Amino acid sequence: MDNADFQIEFTYQNIPYLGIVKPLERNGEVWYAVNLESENQERWVEIVARPSTSALEDWDFQCGDGEGAAEYYDKQLLQEVGEAIERYMITASDADRVQK
Domain that holds residue 33: 6-99
For 24-81, the pLDDT digits (tens) are 998 888 999 999 999 988 888 999 999 998 888 899 999 988 889 999 999 999 999 9
Query: Considering the domain boundaries, does residue 43 fall inside one?
Result: yes
Query: Considering the domain boundaries, does residue 92 fall inside one?
Result: yes
Query: Considering the domain boundaries, does residue 67 fall inside one?
Result: yes
Closest CA to 14 of 46, 45, 42: 42
Query: Considering the domain boundaries, does residue 1 fall inside one?
Result: no
Q: What is the pTM of this model?
A: 0.85
What pLDDT, on the 0 to 100 scale, is given for residue 99? Answer: 56
Domain count for the chain, please give it: 1
